[in-house]
Amino acid sequence: MRSRRDFLKLTGAAAGGAVAALAGVESARAATGPHLDPDRVGVLCDFTLCIGCRRCEWACAQRNHLPHGELRSYDDTAVFADRRRPDSINFTVINRYPARGDDQPPFFAKVNCLHCEHPACVSGCIVKALEKSPQGPVTYDPGRCIGCRYCMVACPFQIPSYEYMNATTPVIRKCSLCAETTLGSGALPACVEICPQEAMVYGRRDQLLDLARRRIANAPGRYVDHIYGEREAGGTSWLYLADRSFPDLDLPALAPESPATVTETLQHGIFKGFTGPIMLFGLLSVIMKSAGRHPDDRKEQGHE
């Protein structure tokens, strides 16, 4: 057991760190959204080309060191019996939808983090554990996370997942757009690289929008005249084409304004000049991090 003096020292340090972090949040988010690079990247996903092979699921799990079987095990179509969502061990999943006609094959759609242009999850995080990179990806730093899970509540796509089965050091898990290996290297995200149908194109977001518009113009009978993610929720780094309404594919109809604007308004009103919640989260951070240490690390030779 730690002494009362050491505990108070740690609590004060954590609270001070939280105050500093929130001060940075306050100043950085006073503007309207994050600074974004004009050359920021994204992915155009053409659902009309997806065949439901689930190779992207396997590649994502392998790249992110998530539990997975052999590639051939992903040929199992029984998973399509239920509608699935990404979780802490599956950053992307494929769902199957009914065909539009008797002579048509079933329709498949990929689900993962859309890496919003002005992410509500980032604005909801009071310690900047989640950040929007100017290059496009929304990244996560588990070392800063205090486990409040505001990001899960804020996300309009219900993407961030929590490791509920990890009792000692749970973290938030989600797709990072393979930012660790792609940014500045010319490499492709794992799911894009493995797709045998080239249903996904990785590149500059502005060029992907131009490509999507050309596809719609050149084959108007193939697509609905809508690029999902161009404006939804303030825009997203993932852009989608389909032959049907996107709500029919479980992609919500959203206003062009990012929900982050609401989150930020609430944050600024609550935390500006009010350190009580900050101290509380600092204390919670100490408790959670202490609980995750090995018992031998918490032993003291004497007690006060």
In this structure, are residues 136 and 42 in contact, taking their beta carbons and an 8 Å threshold?
Answer: yes
Question: Exposed, middle or buried, 114 (CB in 10 Å: 0-12/13-18/19+)?
Answer: buried
Q: What is the pTM assigned to this prediction?
A: 0.78
Range of the domain at 274: 1-304
Rounded Cα gap, residues 161 and 169, in angstroms: 14
Residue 8 has pLDDT above 50, yes or no: no
Contacts 24+ apart (CB under 8 A), 64-73: 64/91, 64/176, 64/190, 66/90, 66/91
Residue 109 has pLDDT above 50, yes or no: yes
Residue 277 has pLDDT above 60, yes or no: no
Residue 217: which H helix or E strand, with range?
helix 205-218
Residue 288: which H helix or E strand, with range?
helix 276-291
Residue 41 has pLDDT above 80, yes or no: yes
pLDDT at 103: 82
In this structure, are residues 202 and 43 in contact, taking their beta carbons and an 8 Å threshold?
Answer: yes
Residue of 259, 263, 284 whose CA lies nearest to 18: 284
Rounded Cα gap, residues 252 and 245, in angstroms: 10
User: pLDDT tens, 65-100?
Assistant: 999 999 999 999 999 999 999 999 999 999 999 998
pLDDT at 263: 62
DSSP-H helix ranges across 119-204: 120-124, 150-154, 179-182, 190-194
Kindly indicate the confidence band of residue 102, based on its pLDDT and cuts at 50, 70 and 90: confident
Query: What is the total count of domains within the chain?
Result: 1
Residue of 236, 227, 230 whose CA lies nearest to 260: 236
CATH of residue 70's domain is 3.30.70.20
Higher per-residue pLDDT: 266 or 65: 65
